[in-house]
């Protein structure tokens, strides 16, 4: 897990520091920082999920391509279940 000290963490710490002097401002800072951090986490999770899906899709496409190269039952676009008949 990465430890980042950015604007949201400073905003949260500022809210904790101001708790005794300005209650409403400190709660606003703390709640806003928590909501924004949660949104950041959700966006990062979605980005990683999409990246994983793209990788899995690429691997599946590659394996299907390789399988189709070595599929000897399929000659001239006729599968092993179809019989080529001439009428």
Query: What's residue 74's pLDDT?
Result: 58
Domain range list for the chain: 7-67
Q: Which residue has the higher pLDDT, 83 or 53?
A: 53
Query: What's residue 3's pLDDT?
Result: 76
Which ranges of the chain does DSSP label H, i.e. alpha helix? 7-17, 23-69
Backbone φ and ψ of 30, nearest 5°: -65, -45
Q: Are 84 and 74 in contact (CB under 8 A)?
A: no
Place of tokens 């676009």: 77
Tell me how many degrees the CA angle 65-70-74 measures, rounded to the nearest 5: 95
Query: What's residue 84's pLDDT?
Result: 58
pLDDT at residue 28 above 90?
A: yes
For the whole prediction, is pTM greater than 0.85? no
Query: What's residue 66's pLDDT?
Result: 84
Query: What's residue 75's pLDDT?
Result: 53
């Amino acid at each position: 897990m990465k430890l980042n000290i950015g604007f949201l963490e400073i905003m949260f710490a500022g809210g904790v520091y101001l708790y005794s002097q300005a209650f409403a401002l400190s709660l606003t800072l703390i709640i806003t920082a928590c909501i924004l951090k949660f949104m950041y986490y959700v966006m990062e999770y979605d980005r990683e999920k999409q990246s994983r899906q793209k990788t899995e899709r690429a691997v599946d496409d590659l394996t299907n391509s390789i399988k189709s190269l070595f599929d000897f039952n399929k000659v001239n676009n006729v599968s092993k279940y179809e019989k080529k008949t001439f009428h």
